Amino acid sequence: MIVALIFDVDGTLAETEEAHRMSFNAAFAEASLDWAWSQSDYRKLLRVTGGKERMLHYIESWGVAPPQGERDNAIRVLHARKTQLYAARVAAGDVPLRPGIEALLRTARDHGVNLAIATTTSRSNVDASLAANLGQDAVNWFAAIGCGDMVARKKPAPDVYEEVLRHLRLRPDETIAIEDSWNGVQAARNAGIAVVAIPSLYSADDDFSDAAAVVTDSLCFHAILGLARKVQSGRTGADLIHPDARKAGEALKGTGS
């Protein structure tokens, strides 16, 4: 019996990565750094989870000049400023929830299914998104909120999902994860949790073969429940990917800029 749905945030609850990218670039410009991440740069950089880790990877692997001063401290300062700029975009309503997410959250609550969050981003970004899109009380809808800065290793490591399972006091098979990226699907699978993948603008080319199902139109609570029953009856993998989802997956690839 599925007791909880565990949601990723970036790319899942909302298409946030474009707002993150623009906030990174604004922070770089303010710091007079000649760094500017295009959409195709950012798609590659998203293979590294965590904004600070992503900037470090950019310095170490893309051969750009590091910011002045002590490197790690400079990255922390840049990331803190990026987070402020991002939160301002969210508060301004520029990062709405994905289609079907609000209905899914409300229907799950109406059916007594617990909600939780397992994300790489910071708690302040989660709170900003929930408040801007669902109201100040929405943070209380979630029985557990696990964030990247709460655990030792970020996705695709299972740490944040294991942290959420501990907090919920549930077994992996009592939950389903909703994720948008390969890193996220791997993190949930590494924690033993079945995953519904909903590819996002920046993850359309990711490999979702480890997901129990791939959904490309709006998520539906009953479809997820149906999936959970199938997963628990041992049916997994290819025969759970709705033919339309596979076709639409191809279509989605066409929309990623």
Nearer to ligand XBP, 149 or 244 (CB): 149
Burial degree of 171 (CB within 10 A; 0-12, 13-18, 19+): exposed
Ranges within 216-245 binding ligand XBP (CB under 6 A): none
Tell me which of 8, 159, 180, 206 is the catalytic residue: 8
Q: What is the DSSP letter of 195?
A: E
Q: Which of residues 176-215 bind ligand XBP (CB under 6 A)?
A: 181, 184
Check residue 152 and report its DSSP letter: S
Per CB under 6 A, does 129 bind ligand XBP? no
137 labelled catalytic: no
CB 153 within 8 A of CB 43: no
Among positions 4, 5, 10, 228, the unique one binding ligand XBP when judged by CB under 6 A: 10
Question: Would you report the helix, strand and coil content of the chain in percent, each value rounded to 5?
Answer: 55, 10, 35
Whether residue 190 contacts residue 221, with contact meaning beta carbons closer than 8 Å, is answered with no
Cβ-proximal residues to 30 (8 Å cutoff; 6+ apart), any chain? 81
In the annotation, is 239 catalytic?
A: no
What string marks each residue from 18 to 57 as x (binds ligand XBP by CB under 6 A) or -? --x----------------------------xxx------
Contact set with ligand XBP (CB under 6 A)? 8-11, 17, 20, 49-51, 119-122, 125, 148, 155, 181, 184
Q: Point out the residues that are catalytic.
A: 8, 10
Contact set with Mg ion (CB under 5 A)? 8, 10-11, 180-181, 184
